[in-house]
Amino acid sequence: MSREERSAEVEERSEQLLRGPLQHVRAAALAAVLVPLASVAAAPAMAQTCASGGATVGDFVWHDANGNGVQDAGEPGISSAVVSAVSADGTHVTYTDEMGYYLFYGLCPGEYRIEVQIPPGMQPSPVSQGGDPALDSNGAPDGAGHSVARVQAEAWSYDDSIDFGFVESAPPGGEVGTGTPGYWMNHPEAWPVEEITVGGKTYSKSEALAWLWKKGADRTLTMFSSLVPAMLNVLAGTDASCVQATIDAANAWMSAPPVGYGPVGSRVHPASYAWKVGEPLHRTLDNYNNGMLCAPSRDALE
């Protein structure tokens, strides 16, 4: 498409946005949405589709209503979202359709950043949740208003698993505090998810609760009792900056051998080497859950 055609299309899309799905958005937020559209029109290097061996990448941008990072039944697509495929050779731009689907085709093989503008009042869903690439979210915030996924496009490949979930941000000033293990054990209705994946194994809420209530010397129970609440706190929207790396390490520890010592119930002895590795992670998670690290406890906010 020529630059003039692109400009015309961008103008028309802006019009559609104004009349359609963004009608309810406040003027300031709307301006923020439309400024990048204008810069798209002026972008010098529009990449060409590849003459042969083109790759296809898609395909879904959606409203992750329950914030669990998984495309659940009934969660709607986000239409007219601007999606860019950026490589060293230039930028392809497209938009999601009425159902929230997008597709780049004819991409020359190579490395791409697939970028979606973060809609006003929303934030990207947690990535790689639930274990099914077709249903998970792939974009992480880049700090500049985009959710970004990196893709290595091979010749003739077809990848429709690059998806972008967005969840409503907590209202400004409405800081979310952490819950202790006891809080999450006694408030199943407050869980932000219906299932949770620990060490690569997925548990329903009731299964996870049953493990949380179990007592014993098995240190996988101990790790489970701090890791699950920490993950629930993050999913509920508490500041995760100081604890995400520990959560990842604890999930690796809870995975099956040869990587880890899990799953929960694997009878790790308190005096074992495994627990020497695991205990510092558990202590960090425990401190986080009790509001002693980067997020206050929910009790302190009440």
Q: Which of 7, 16, 66, 255 binds Ca ion (CB under 5 A)?
A: 66
Complex with Ca ion: residue 160 or 175, whichever CB lies closer: 160
Complex with Ca ion: residue 98 or 132, whichever CB lies closer: 132
Complex with Ca ion: residue 58 or 278, whichever CB lies closer: 58
- What are φ and ψ of residue 184, in 5° steps? -70, -30
Q: Which of 72, 97, 159, 207 binds Ca ion (CB under 5 A)?
A: 72
64 binds Ca ion (CB under 5 A): yes
The tokens 């003459």 sit on which residue?
51
Could you tell me the smallest distance in angstroms from the CB atom of residue 58 to Ca ion?
10
Torsion, CA 247, CA 196, CA 144, CA 41, rounded to 10 = 150
Whether a cis peptide bond, with omega within 30° of 0, leads into 248 is: no
Could you tell me the smallest distance in angstroms from the CB atom of residue 174 to Ca ion?
21
* Number of neighbouring beta carbons within 10 Å of residue 251: 20
* Residue with the shortest CB distance to Ca ion: 163
94 binds Ca ion (CB under 5 A): no
Helix (H) or strand (E) holding 93: strand 90-95
**What single DSSP character describes residue 70?**
B
- Quote the longest CA-to-CA distance of the chain: 71
Residues 116-145: x where in contact with Ca ion by CB under 5 A, - otherwise, as a string: -----------------x--x-x-------
Complex with Ca ion: residue 64 or 239, whichever CB lies closer: 64
- What are φ and ψ of residue 104, in 5° steps? -100, 130
Specify whether the CB–CB gap between 91 and 43 falls below 8 A: yes
- 146-165: which residues touch Ca ion (CB under 5 A)? 161, 163
| Rounded-to-integer distance, Cα 169 and Cα 297, Å | 19
Complex with Ca ion: residue 62 or 288, whichever CB lies closer: 62
Q: Which of 40, 57, 68, 181 binds Ca ion (CB under 5 A)?
A: 68
59 binds Ca ion (CB under 5 A): no
3-state secondary structure 244-273: HHHHHHHHHHCCCCCCCCCCCCCCCCCCCH
Number of residues that bind Ca ion (CB under 5 A): 10
Q: Which residues bind Ca ion (CB under 5 A)?
A: 64, 66, 68, 70, 72, 133, 136, 138, 161, 163
